[in-house]
Amino acid sequence: MALVKQSDNRGVVIAAVILMSWSVLLVYLLRYYDVDFASPLTYLFFLLQTHLYTGLFITAHDAMHGVAAPGKPKLNKAIGTVAAFLFAYNWYPRLLPRHHQHHRHVATAEDPDYHHGSFWLWYLSFLKQYITWWQMLLMAITFNLLKLFFPVENVVLYWMAPAVLATFQLFYFGTYEPHKGEHPADNPHKSGTQAKNHLWAFVSCYFFGYHYEHHDKPYLPWWQLYKTKI
């Protein structure tokens, strides 16, 4: 039984908090923050913005499972579309069928997220599945526009680089670690899982290191996934 009721609005509120936090912090860091590479705050803000970028994709991912706004398909799709688009111009209608194909054919040749090979070849395969030429074009145009108004080091450090690192974070904790290697025959989801540590699970990838649990209960939003961890 799903733990999220159709009338539950917590997913909408949580999605709004992530979207607003990412937007407000980005505006502050681009416009008002003076980068000082001798200050720990510079790196703390970089890591926080990376974490919020990851949160954008996790929010879009929740929408793909219909739990960003349960029982409200139009709002759910809108949240997913906006969250995905803010993450380096990802296109939600393109991501949606690929993600469900991953769930139907996990760790097989028909799984778009899976690659039978070395870590870096798998990462490149992952990028090829989710990055298109028009995204790169839009990113390049946006970068050149932003640097007309904001210091270039701020644009690189707080808009561009966090998106790259968040992509790596999503791949490592949400794809590579749980699906690498051979899984026993009694593992129907061909997925591993992190050891139980809710703080690390949240910081590393919004509980998606608990990946077997996600595949076992895909109807749970990220903020309830920890409840399934034994």
Residue 33 near residue 143 (C-beta atoms within 8 A): no
Least confident of 5-9, 11-15, 54-58, 72-76: 5-9
The answer to the question of residue 1 being in a domain is no
The predicted structure's pLDDT at residue 92: 95
Q: Does 2 have pLDDT greater than 50?
A: no
Read off the pLDDT of each residue in 45-73 and give the average, rounded to a whole number: 96
* Residue with the larger pLDDT of the pair 2 and 56: 56
Confidence of residue 4 (pLDDT cuts 50, 70, 90): low
The answer to the question of residue 3 being in a domain is no
The answer to the question of residue 227 being in a domain is no
The answer to the question of residue 2 being in a domain is no
The answer to the question of residue 229 being in a domain is no
Q: Does 1 have pLDDT greater than 50?
A: no
The answer to the question of residue 226 being in a domain is no
Q: How many domains does the chain have?
A: 1
The predicted structure's pLDDT at residue 116: 84
Give the integer Cα–Cα distance in Å for 166 and 47. 9
The answer to the question of residue 105 being in a domain is yes
Confidence of residue 188 (pLDDT cuts 50, 70, 90): confident
Confidence of residue 152 (pLDDT cuts 50, 70, 90): very high
Name the residue range of residue 157's domain: 10-220
* Residue with the larger pLDDT of the pair 36 and 129: 36
